Structure 1
Amino acid sequence: MNIITKTALANFRSNRSRNILIGVAIALTAMLLTTVPTVVFGTIDLRFAAVDNVYPTFHGMFRNVDEKSADKMLDDARLTDTGLREDAAYMICDGTDANISMVYCDDNTVKLNRLKLEEGKMPERADEIVVSEGLLKVMGLTGGIGDKITVPFQPVKAGGLGQAMKKEFTITGLTKDSEEAESRNIYSSLVSGAFTEEIISEGEHEYRVYFSIADAKGKTTDVIKDSMEEVGKSYGIGKEDIVDNSEYLMANYVDPAMYGGMIILMAVIVLAGVLTICSIYYVSMMNKVQEYGKLKAIGSTRRQIRQLVFREGFAVAAAAIPVGLILGLGTGMLLVHGMVRSGLASENEMANEMKRVMAAGDISLIKPWILLLAAAVALVSVYISLLLPMRKAAKISAIEAIRFQGTDKKNKKKRRKGYAELNIRKLTSSNLGRNKKRTTATIVTLGITGILFVVVATILSCMNPKSMTMDSIRGDVEITLNSESGNEMHPERERKNIQKNNPLTEELKKQIETLDGVERVETYTGVSASLEELQEDDGRPLDTALGGLSEAAMGELERYVTDGSLDDESLMDGTGIILSGSYIIAYPGADWKAGDKVHLNIKDGDDIIKKEYKIAAIVDAPNGLAGSGFTLPSSVLEDLCKNNVTDDFIIFTEKSKVDAVTKEIRAIVEGQEFLAMNTWKDAYEQSEKNIGYMLYGCYGLLFVFGLVSILNLVNTMINSVYIRRRELGVLQAIGLSGRQTVRMLQLEGLFYTAGTLLLSVGAGSIAGYGCFLWAKAESIMSIRTYEYPTVPVIILAVIILVVQVLITYMVNNSFKKQSLIDRIRFAE
């Protein structure tokens, strides 16, 4: 161990107070750097594991694939988990409208689709089959495992179905019928590969190939879809024969913006840590100047002085970073467990499975790479923080150091200004002006945290659970069509297909209106449409929505108009339309104004209605009222379409009977595949929960940032007294009382407090209002109304004042422990 390292370690032990402060700052920085990615990636991994346990796990499917291409796909390195399915035949169901396919699935396809038998085993021979009770009932058959049944069927041939055939099968397994199968009279039986070879000639097989894209982890849904199209194109498969597993992909989708937000947050953490650690070192350097000067005088080089500061700093980091990593890991794991238990980490469909995965310990939240990354970033932060102190220490000359008295004035000829009469206020002013850089650094470091606090408090105070709830629901209870858009594997769930036999009938509406406690039922109509002025990535007109509002809703919408008028005659004659302001935000090309023309292709069942509309009004209304696209009066939309285009029943109830009405409506909706129910109470509670967790998370981070900044204030006050021990000792020797000393220290602390509050509240309020305008314009968290964070700002001021008072007494008590003689003899 060389002399520099020995000296650094000696300093490490002797400068205990300063190093504890720096160590706490470094530990808190490392803690935050560990907590943030642990929460983010832990939640993602739990979600992925839950998805893998619930959804079919393939990325996509190629249809109409010939034998040669299917064989090549099985060995294609671009694809993984490749499986084959062949719809070999269809059973003949005379006298019914049932559709029963005879499907062969290989082992991989069975696994990917999570096909599970209630009992029995998969078929292996040509005369074996798996059926369901519903299938047997439709076919007029009976039987169980081991029984034989005779089935008439038509094999699938190129261009259609072949001649009718009959075959006797042995039942080897039974499956359970889904509600969808029973309601739509669509069933499937499972047959063996041997059966398909028997009825379909070689070279005539057509497969559906299930697959996942290789190396897809960490990729977005768009990238995966692009890869599917690229692979399909290499086999001559067009887009119309490429089907993505949208449920699985969307459940696994991770928005790249989330990673960007995490990186920004970690950068803020690093910046706060660097500012504080650098500031502590800078202030502490005041009482180290003479020591470095003496080392220079006995022959130390600039490089050796830099190494001394560097090694001492990294000795502190070596002790503090492991503590921060452990605290960060523990905090992150507690947060993840809390989020999953509350159901906040995912929608209800996934929450229970995530809880089960977490309870089973299938996913580890301890990720070594996060700990290594956090440690590396913390070390880099410490190094950056040491650059200025290292540079300053190396530049100190021996003569300058010996004469140093704690001032940053460079003009030697400028004489210190004195006072004819001396009092506590003038003494305080003299000390603060003695080292303006130190004073400024402390106020700026504290002020930055204060500005962050006020900005975040402004955004959080503008989050209103009522406004957030209004974006999802308007009435006390809503019954809505449970539709999906773009799911090629389930086209029956498209809104236009459901509306051909719409379950939201006038009879159902009257039934609901008769329930005790129901005040009124409003109808919201809606259809799918496409907009010719904007295009999808493939050049098709952009898919959008067209809603219809009742008279009551139109009256309520009036106060949200930002351009145009709802009294425009074009709205009632069918040539005008209302545009949501959120649509303009979502699509940069949609920068229209009232009076502009748009062209919609309206989907009424299988028909397309092409219409030109004038934008009569633009509204900035909650999505629960006007949606996020285009809107018409409901009567106009109903006259335009021949199908029943009712999309929602919006039910308003007597407040005292909400629960009873909800219970009765739930009984009506349950069991109906294409209906879903939402309640204001559930949506409001979820909004409160979301905002509550954001409050805890944001204020928790700011609390840690505040601790880091308070360490800087403590360090500044301690070093201020440390440097002036001799001066204060002389003043006390000539009559300065202990009470006056405390008052002087309090005035210094109040100066830091006033400067911090002025910077925090002033700049923070301006920045907070700017962030509110941005959040409102981007429709973030349903923010629409500005609310100044009065209570949080008052709390901030009280905390800063209390901390300042506590620090003053702590520093004074430490100062009083030394005798007056020792103080006067200091630095002799």
Structure 2
Amino acid sequence: MNIITKTAFANFKKNRSRNILIGAAIALTAMLLTIVPTVVFGSVDLRFTAVDNLYPTFHGMFRDVDEKAAQKMTGDARMTDTGLREDAAYMVCDDTDASISMVYCDRNTVKLNRLKLKEGELPRRADEIVVSEGLLKVMGLKGGIGDKITVPYQPVMADGLGQAAEKEFTITGMTEDSEEAVEKNIYSSLISDKFAEEIIPAGEHRYRVYFSVAGAKGKTTDAIKDNIKEIGKSYNIGETDIVENGEYLFANYVDPAMYAGMVILMVIIVLAGILTIYSIYYVSMMNKVQEYGKLKAIGSTKRQIRQLVFREGFTVAAAAVPIGLMLGLGVGILLVNGMVSSDLASDNLMAEEMKKIIADGGVSLVKPWILLLAAAVSCVSVYISLLRPMQKAAKISAIEAIRFQGTDKEKKKKQRRGYEEMNIRRLTASNLGRNKRRTVVTIVTLGITGILFVVVATILSCMNPKTMAMDTTRGDIHITLNSESGNKMHPERELSNIQKNNPLTEELKEQIASIDGVDRIETYTGVSAALEELREDDGRPLETGLGGLSEEAMKELDRYVTEGSLADDSLKDGTGIILSGGYVKSYPGADWKTGDKVHLLIEDGDEVVKREFKIAAVTDAPYGLTGNGFILPSSVLEDICENDVTDDFYIFTEKGKAGSVAEAVKQLTDGQEFLQMDTWKDAYAQSEKSIGFMLYGCYGLMFVFGLIGILNLVNTMINSVYIRRRELGVLQAVGLSGKQTVRMLQLEGLFYTAGTLLLSVGAGSIAGYGCFLWARAESIMSIRTYEYPVVPVVVLAAIILVVQILITYMVNNSFKKQSLIDRVRFAE
């Protein structure tokens, strides 16, 4: 161990108080750097694993592919795990409304679709088949593995279903019936390729081709989707026959936006850590100046002084970083478990699977690379923080150091102005003015943390569970059509197709109205539409919604009108329309005003109705009231469309009867495939849970940021007294009382407090309002109204004031431990 290292260790032991402060700041920085990626990547990995356990794993699928193209695809280097499926026939079910397909799947298709047999094996010969108990029951058959059954079927030909025939099959395997299959009465059996070749002539086979994109690792979801479309186009596959496995792609190939957000947060943490650590070193350097001067006087070089500062700093880091990593890891794991256990991580099915994965230890939340990265970034932060102190220490000359009294170096000699009479206020101002840079650095460090706190508090205070609940449901109970847009695997779930045989009938409405406790029922009508004025990336008209409001809802909508009027006559004659907002208003080019014309392509079952409308009013209403897109009076929309376009029933109940009505409505809607029921109570509870979890997380991070800032204030106050021990001792020798000393220190602390609050509340309020406007425009967390965070700001001011008072008394008590003689003799 050389002399520099020995001196660094000696300084480390000597400057214990300062090193504890620096170590705490470093540990808190390392802790935050560990928490953020642990929570983000832990949640993502859990979701990925849950999706892998629940969903098919193919990237894409092409429908209606002929034999030649299918064979080429199996050898295409752009595709991996390519599998073929052919719906070769359908069983004849004359006495039931069931649909039973006879499907050939090769082994890759079986693997990609997670087809698992309850028992047995896949068919190989033409007379072998895999069935389920539900299928056998529907067909009126009985049997098990090895038994023979006779099945009537119709082969799938080029021009439709062929002539009915019968064949005897041997059961080689059994599958499990899903709840969806039983509810919808839709089943599948598995047959061999030999049977498909037997009943379908060569050249007429049409396949579904499942595949994964080669080299997909590291790509984004959008990039993989583009690859799927490119491959499809190269085989002349129509756009409607190109299907992406969106859920799997989203879960396994996350967009960079999420990582960008995490990186921004980590950069903020690093900057806060660097600023605080640098500030502590900078302020602490003042009481080390004479020491470095003496080392210079006995022959130390600039390089040795830099090494001394560097080694002392990294000795502190070596002790603090591991503590921060362990604390961060523990808190991060607790947060992930809290998110999953409270069902905030995903929907119910996914959440249950994630809970199971955590219980079984299927995913490790301890990731060594995160710990290594956090340790490396923490050390880099310490190094950056030490650069300026190392430079400053190396530049100090021996003569300058011995004469140093803890003030900023003046570039020009100025005549010092004295006072005929001195008082506590003037003494305080004199001390603060002698080292303006230290004062500014301390206030800016604390102020930045305060600004961040006020901004976060503003956003959180604008989140309202009632507003969030209104964005999902209206009334006490909400029944809606459970439709999906763009699901090419299930076109029957499109809103326009469901409305051809709409389950929201007048009969159902009357049944609900007869339930004890129902006050009234509002009907919301709605259709899918496309807007010709705006285009998707591929050139198609932008998809949107067109809703129809009842008279009661229109009256409520009136208070959300921001432009125009709902009394406009054009709304009654069908030439006017209301722009209700959502993503349409924020779309580039959608800066419409009242009086502007828009052209909508309205989906009415299989028909498309083209209409021109004049914008009569613009509103900023909750999603639960208007939906997303454009609005008409319900009577006008019903006149435009031939089909029953009822989309929602909003049920309002008598006071105290919402629970019993909900149970009765649930019994009426259970088992209906395309109906979904929600309640205001459930929506409000979920909103409270979501906001509550966010409050804990954000204020938790702000608490740690605040601790880092407070450490800087503590260090500033301690060092301010430390380097002035001789001056304070002389002042006390000539009559400055202990009470006056405390008052002077309190005034110094109050100056820091006032400066911090002025910067935090002033700049933070302006920045917070700007963030509110952005959040409202982007519809983030249903933020609509501005709420100033009065309570958080008052709490922030109180905490800063209390901390400053405590620090003053702590510093004064430490100061009083030395005798007056020792203080006067300090630095001799």
Q: How high is the TM-score relative to the length of structure 1? A: 0.96
CA deviation after TM superposition for structure 1 residue 182, in Å: 5.3
SS of structure 2 residue aligned to 1:655: coil
Q: Which amino acid aligns with 2:404?
A: F
Match of 1:237 in 2: 237
Letter in 2 for 1:616: A
Equivalent residue for 1:23?
A: 23
The amino acid of 1:265's aligned partner reads L
Tell me by how many angstroms 1:237 deviates.
3.0
| Equivalent in the alignment of 1:751 | 751
Map 1:425-824; keep pairs closer than 5 Å.
425-824=425-824
Matched residue, 1:338:
338
C-alpha distance after superposition, 1:215-242 (max 9, x if no partner) = 4345433222111112223444333321
What stretches of structure 1 of length at least 5 have no aligned partner?
Answer: none
After superposition, the C-alpha distances for 1:555-611 in whole angstroms (9 at most, x for unaligned) are 000011111111111111111111123334431221111111111111111111111
Map residues 263-342 of structure 1 onto 2, 5 A cutoff: 263-342=263-342
Q: Is the 8 A contact 2:529 2:603 kept in 1?
A: yes
CA-CA distance at 1:134 after TM superposition: 4.7
Query: Match of 1:420?
Result: 420
- Please tell me the residue identity of whatever aligns with 1:436: K
Deviations 1:153-195 (A, max 9, x none): 3434455555544321112334455565456554322112332
Residue 353 of structure 1 aligns with an amino acid whose one-letter code is E
Report the AA paired with residue 462 of structure 1: C
Once residues 473 and 188 of structure 2 are traced to their aligned partners in structure 1, the CA distance between those partners, rounded to angstroms, is: 38
Instruction: Measure, in 2, the Cα distance between the counterparts of 1:109 and 1:542.
Output: 34
Deviations 1:87-135 (A, max 9, x none): 2223344566654321111223223223234454432322111234554
Query: Does structure 1 conserve the Cα–Cα contact (< 8 Å) formed by 2:221 and 2:255?
Result: no
User: How far, CA to CA, are the matches of 2:11 and 2:138 in structure 1?
Assistant: 88
Whole-angstrom CA distance in 2 between matches of 1:361 and 1:77: 36
1:26 counterpart SS class: helix
Measure the CA separation in 1 of the matches of 2:652 and 2:4: 78
> How far, CA to CA, are the matches of 1:26 and 1:237 in structure 2?
58
Match of 1:86 in 2: 86
CA distance in 2, matches of 1:583, 1:112: 35
Residues in 1 aligned to 2:451 and 2:595: alpha-carbon distance in whole angstroms = 43
* 1:288 aligned counterpart, secondary structure: helix
Equivalent position of 1:358 in the other structure: 358
Q: Which moved more, 1:68-77 or 1:632-641?
A: 68-77
Contact 1:521/1:651, CA 8 A, preserved across alignment? yes
2-structure distance, mates of 1:46, 1:519? 44
Deviations, residues 665-701 of structure 1 (Å, cap 9, x unaligned): 1111111111001111111111111111111111111
CA separation of 1:664/1:784 partners in 2, compared to 1, >3 Å: closer, same or farther? same
Change (3 A) 1:814 1:215: farther
> Which residue identity is paired with 2:698?
C
Q: Distance in 2 between matches of 1:159 and 1:325?
A: 67
Measured in 1, the distance between the counterparts of 2:181 and 2:333 equals: 42
Moved more, 15-24 or 235-244: 235-244
The match for 1:129 is: 129
Q: CA deviation at 1:640?
A: 1.2
Partner of 1:405: 405
* Aligned Cα root-mean-square deviation (Å): 2.1
- Contact 2:601-2:611 at 8 Å conserved across structures: yes
| Mapped pair 1:388 → 2:382 | no
Q: Residue 31 of structure 1: CA displacement?
A: 0.7
Aligned equivalent of 2:53: 53
**1:216 match:** 216
* Farther-moved stretch of structure 1 (371-380 vs 709-718): 371-380
Q: Tell me, in whole angstroms, the C-alpha distance in 1 between the residues paired with 2:741 and 2:184.
A: 87
Question: Which is further off, 340-349 or 773-782?
Answer: 773-782
Shift of residue 613, structure 1, vs aligned partner: 0.8
CA contact (8 A) 2:544 2:584 kept: no
Q: Which amino acid aligns with 1:480?
A: T
Report the counterpart of residue 155 of structure 1 in structure 2: 155
The DSSP-based 3-state class of the residue aligned with 1:527 is strand
Structure 2 alignment gaps of length 5 or more:
none
Paired AA for residue 725 in structure 2 = R
Superposed CA deviations along residues 20-54 of structure 1, whole A, max 9, x for unmatched, are 11111111111101100110110011011111111
Q: Following TM superposition, by how much is the alpha carbon of 1:770 offset from its aligned partner in structure 2, in angstroms?
A: 2.1
Deviation of the 1:724 alpha carbon: 0.8
Paired with 1:791 and 1:340, the residues of 2 have a C-alpha distance of 30
SS in 2 for 1:406: coil
Cα separation, 2, equivalents of 1:217 and 1:689: 35
Q: Is the 8 A contact 1:585 1:778 kept in 2?
A: no
Distance (Å, rounded) in 2 between the aligned partners of 1:803 and 1:654: 52
Specify the alignment match of 2:172 in structure 1: 172
Q: Deviations over 1:739-758 (max 9, x none)?
A: 22222211211111111112
Is the Cα contact below 8 Å between 1:59 and 1:244 reproduced in 2?
yes
Q: Following the alignment from structure 2 to structure 1, what is the Cα–Cα distance between the partners of residues 565 and 586? A: 22
Shift, 1:205, TM fit? 3.7
How many angstroms apart in 2 are the aligned matches of 1:661 and 1:93? 39
TM-score by length of 2: 0.96
* Farther-moved stretch of structure 1 (284-293 vs 550-559): 284-293
User: 1:283, 1:537 → 2: CA distance?
Assistant: 55
SS in 2 for 1:211: strand
User: Residues 325, 76 of structure 1: CA spacing in aligned structure 2 closer, same or farther, 3 A cutoff?
Assistant: farther
State the one-letter code of the partner of 1:127: D
Cα 1:217–1:673 change in 2 (3 A) is farther
* Residues 185 and 819 of structure 1: CA distance in aligned 2, closer, same or farther (over 3 Å): closer
Distance (Å, rounded) in 2 between the aligned partners of 1:717 and 1:518: 67
- Compute the displacement of 1:377 (Å): 1.5
In structure 2, relative to structure 1, the CA distance for the partners of 1:163 and 1:467 (3 Å cut) is closer
Letter in 1 for 2:425: R
3-state SS, counterpart of residue 643 of structure 1: coil
Tell me the secondary structure at the aligned position of residue 533 of structure 2.
strand
Matches of 1:6 and 1:412, distance apart in 2:
39
- Do the aligned partners of 2:30 and 2:324 also contact (CA within 8 Å) in 1? yes
Q: Tell me if the contact between 2:450 and 2:761 (Cα under 8 Å) persists in the aligned partners.
A: yes
**Aligned pair in 2 of structure 1 residues 138, 341: CA closer, same or farther (>3 Å)?**
closer
SS of structure 1 residue aligned to 2:254: coil
- Paired with 2:372 and 2:288, the residues of 1 have a C-alpha distance of 33
Q: CA separation in 2, counterparts of 1:805 and 1:553?
A: 56
**1:179·1:673 contact (CA, 8 Å) conserved in 2?**
no
Deviates more, 1:114-123 or 1:769-778: 114-123
SS of equivalent to 1:371 = helix
Q: 1:163 and 1:312, CA in 2 relative to 1: closer, same or farther beyond 3 A?
A: same
Contact 1:479 1:676 in 2 (8 A): yes
Which amino acid in structure 1 is aligned with residue 192 of structure 2?
S
SS in 2 for 1:811: helix
Q: Distance in 2 between matches of 1:21 and 1:558?
A: 58
Asked if the contact 2:497–2:605 (Cα under 8 Å) also holds between the matched residues in 1, the reply is yes
Task: Give the C-alpha shift of residue 431 in structure 1.
Answer: 1.3
Q: Does the CA contact (< 8 Å) of 2:584 and 2:629 recur in 1? A: no
Deviation at residue 311 of structure 1 after TM alignment: 2.3
User: Which residue does the alignment assign to 1:107?
Assistant: 107
CA distance in 2, matches of 1:439, 1:208: 71
